[in-house]
Structures are given as C-alpha cells and as structure tokens.
Amino acid sequence: MLSLLKPKLPILGIVVLILGILFGAHKVILWKEVKKAVAETKEQVSAEYTKKLLEASELAREREQVMVSSADKIRKEKDAKIASLNTRLGTALSSLSERPQRPPSTPEGAPASCIGAGATGAQLSREDAEFLVREAARADKLITALEQCYRQYDSVRQSLK
C-alpha cells in the first residue's frame, strides 16, 4: 500500500503547499482589506465628529451672541433706571436745601427740635433729611442692580433650555 502512495506523495505535498500558499495569501489579503476598512471607518467617524463639532460650535456661538445682546440690553435698562434715580436724587437734595439746619443740642444731649415734636419727619433738619434721601436712593440702586441680576439669570436660563 505504501508503494501505491509513493508516486502520489510529491503531488500531495505540492497540493498541500499550494493550498498553504493560497490560504496564507487569502489571510494577507483579508488582513489588508480589514486594515483598509478600519482606516476608512476612522476617516468617516473623524469627519462626522468634526462636522458635529463645528455645528455645536456654531450653535454655541449663536447662543452666546443672544445671551450677550440680552445682557447688554438688560444692562442698558439698568443704567437708564439708575440715571433716572440719580436725577430724582439730585432734585430731592436740591429741594432739601430750603430746610433749616440742625439746631444745637440741648445740654441733655437731645436735639432741641425733638423735644415734644411728633415723628412725621416734617421737622427733620437738612442734614438728617439728606441722609435719609441718600440712603433711599442707594437702596433703590441696589434693588435695580438685583433686578438686573435676576433678569439676566432668567434670560440665560431660558436660552440654555
């Protein structure tokens, strides 16, 4: 039986060798194609990522511009309101110039005008009235600034929704 296989062994060896070469070539070609497909996929994903990133950047810039313009508008309104408050303060202070000055204190330490006087504020001295008017104006400015903060916060919050 071995004698029958002897002439066929070289042929069998050649066939196995050819099959091995074909299998190896197939694996090399397959590896190259997979590598090529991976590179193409990476390029596509990278291009898509870049595209999405640019779109997101544009959207962010648009939102930022809207927020900045809104903040500028709110700031201008606040500045106008404060200017109006300053005008009213100047008017109020100039109207107080006709009030009498604070009378000298009595020996006990209380101002003379306070003895037996009511608490209406009509008898306030110029200095005391100016102090109160300035404090009221300062409080109004703080309220205006706080309102600006709230409005700007609400504006940004709405634009981010």
Consecutive 10-residue averages of pLDDT for the chain (161 residues): 68 90 95 96 96 96 91 94 93 82 65 54 81 93 94 88 78
Q: Specify the pLDDT at position 94.
A: 87
**What's this model's pTM, rounded to 2 decimal places?**
0.58
Q: How far apart are CA 158 and CA 76, in angstroms?
A: 20
Model pLDDT for residues 28-71, shown as the tens digit of each residue: 999 999 999 999 999 999 999 999 999 999 999 998 998 999 99
Q: Specify the pLDDT at position 32.
A: 96
Residue 126 near residue 99 (C-beta atoms within 8 A): yes
Q: How far apart are CA 143 and CA 137, in angstroms?
A: 10
Q: How far apart are CA 73 and CA 59, in angstroms?
A: 21
| Token pair 């020996």: residue | 107
- Identify the burial level of 102 via C-beta atoms within 10 angstroms of its C-beta, where 0-12 means exposed, 13-18 middle and 19 or more buried: middle
Average pLDDT, the chain: 86
Q: How far apart are CA 30 and CA 107, in angstroms?
A: 110
Number of C-alpha atoms within 13 angstroms, CB side, residue 150? 6
Q: Specify the pLDDT at position 12.
A: 83
Q: Specify the pLDDT at position 116.
A: 47
Q: Specify the pLDDT at position 51.
A: 97
